Amino acid sequence: MPVLPSVADVLTQKLPKILPSKVHLLADYVIAGSFAAAGTWFWRRKRRAAWGALICGGSAFGLALLTSYPGRDRRAITFPLHGKIEIGLAALIATMPEFLHFEKDPEKKFFLTEAGILTIVSNQTCFNPRVRQTRTSKAS
């Protein structure tokens, strides 16, 4: 995994989980939308980057659609499993420039930044709210 997402992972993995599922859902849609916008932006300049952005955006959007977030109807993927898949998706996003051979282009920075943001959001989300409530109730 490239340096920026790895550093984001190391720095945020041990921090307290503060993001609720609703904020995570919003972040998932914002990330998917930013990839769709980047795909259209990159289309004239670098087709490979555009295809990579559209693939990553579609993957993020599909994952969000298939996840049963707490308080929503049941879907194919549980919310804790969503968090594990999302770390893998961040790794895919970070390696997309190398995979599609646009490693030295400025578009690479966009993919690395998005992978870092996705890693931070995933590491800061409380995927099991029962554990969070149990820990706080024991501390009182």
The predicted-structure confidence for 33-56, as pLDDT tens digits, reads as follows: 999 999 999 999 999 999 999 999
pLDDT of 118 over the 80 cut = yes
Q: How far apart are CA 68 and CA 90, in angstroms?
A: 20
Residue 113 has pLDDT above 90, yes or no: yes
pTM over 0.95, yes/no: no
Residue 51 CA from chain centroid, whole number: 18
pLDDT of residue 104: 78
Handedness of CA 112, 113, 114, 116 (dihedral sign): positive
Q: Give the residue-averaged pLDDT of 117-121.
A: 92
* 3-state secondary structure string across 22-80: HHHHHHHHHHHHHHHHHHHHHCCCCHHHHHHHHHHHHHHHHHHHHEECCCCCCCCEEHH
* % pLDDT > 90, the chain: 59
Q: What pLDDT is recorded for position 16?
A: 83
Q: What per-residue confidence (pLDDT) applies to 46? A: 92
